[in-house]
Amino acid sequence: MTNLKKPLQKLAPGDFKRKFSAWWEGDEYIPLPKDEQDGDTLEMSEADDPAVRVADDVLSMAVAQGIWGAGYIQPGNAEHYVEMAKTLALTQKKSMAIIGAGLGGPARDISRATDVWISAYEARATAAAEGQRQSDMAGLSKRVAISHFDPETIDLPENKFHAIASFEVFCFVEQKERLLQQCEMSLKPSGSLLFTDYVVKEEVPSQDRLAQLFAPKWGKPFLWTPHQYAAAVSESGLGLRVQEDVTQSYVDLIQQAEPLWTKLISDLEGSSTSLQSAIYDSVGAEHAEWVSRLEALQSGEVSVYRYLALKPAEIT
């Protein structure tokens, strides 16, 4: 249960943090005196309904970090992401971009392991702001800078990065061809693009099924086949080097978290206060989504692929 407390305290606004801590520790909650409350604190008439004060995306991010780890809102850990980044030969003399940084956990772990400088982009404004706050707290405010962006319209800086990476994010971008072209333009000669993403082998699931697999907080999914990705990468001017089905390793990452899900749900079951109920509902919704995702991955309905593409060297 301690896995959930820290991220929720960090993300929740106003006096909600104190209320949550009191409930978690079994202590009495005593509201702050009015002159000590900030403008984001609940009015006393709302004090029994903290769900009013905590947006769904904030609570969801806190729950996700409770499962996957601080700075992480999807499967993976430092070992997983640092291992993937090894193919990029990153050093402190190189620069990197990450498209879809979430709260920046993977970016910070990659930077710590390689000393690379990272410009990270995140489409969800709340996540981008919290991710930058976490970079600041980690003493990596400049080395791992996280900014908000629109993946459909972003204009990346030209000839800027030695490497660009993205992890299960391209599927939420409708104009994938444009984004891939932006990546090619922004890479230095001999630069690398590494990304993983959800794909479908043939038929795209129905809209109802997609809603089960990808909650609105993730964005609207636009799933491609591996062939579509390979063609678009080549058309962007990049040379495709790796197209690999990594579904099983991703399944393993999801399954490793099941004991934590079970404990959280068990500990929160039968919640009586509105605060407990809000957390329980968020945990349940998050778990149901990952159970559906796991079933889809195991059945072959969707897969996860890894791609590595290189920009041609400069001709002299």
What pLDDT, in 10s, does the model give residues 244-269? Answer: 999 999 999 999 998 888 877 777 66
Q: Are 76 and 65 in contact (CB under 8 A)?
A: no
Integer CA distances (angstroms), 18 to 2, 45, 133, 279, in order: 15, 17, 20, 15
Comparing CA positions, the residue from 153, 163, 170 lying closest to residue 184 is 163
Q: Are 107 and 137 in contact (CB under 8 A)?
A: no
The whole-number pLDDT of residue 65 equals 87
At the second CATH level, the architecture of 78-207+221-250+304-310 is 3-Layer(aba) Sandwich (3.40)
Specify the pTM.
0.84
Q: Report how far residue 99's alpha carbon sits from residue 34's, in angstroms, rounded to the nearest whole number.
A: 43
Q: What is the average pLDDT score of the chain?
A: 84
What pLDDT, in 10s, does the model give residues 188-228? Answer: 999 999 999 999 998 899 999 999 999 887 889 999 999 99
The whole-number pLDDT of residue 283 equals 84
Q: Which amino acid is at 257?
A: A
Q: And the tokens for 89? A: 């030969």
Tell me which of 56 and 185 has the higher pLDDT.
Answer: 185
Categorise residue 14: left if φ over 0, alpha if ψ from -120 to 50, beta otherwise.
left
CA-angle at 261, arms to 256 and 262, nearest 5° = 105
pLDDT at 295 over 70: yes
Q: Where are the domains of the chain?
A: 2-70+254-299, 78-207+221-250+304-310
Comparing CA positions, the residue from 222, 221, 244 lying closest to residue 304 is 244
Q: Are 51 and 274 in contact (CB under 8 A)?
A: yes
pLDDT at 167 over 80: yes
CA torsion angle 97 102 103 108 (round to 10): -30
pLDDT at 23 over 50: no
What pLDDT, in 10s, does the model give residues 79-129? Answer: 999 999 999 999 999 999 999 999 999 999 999 999 999 999 999 998 999
Q: Report how far residue 127's alpha carbon sits from residue 292's, in angstroms, rounded to the nearest whole number.
A: 24
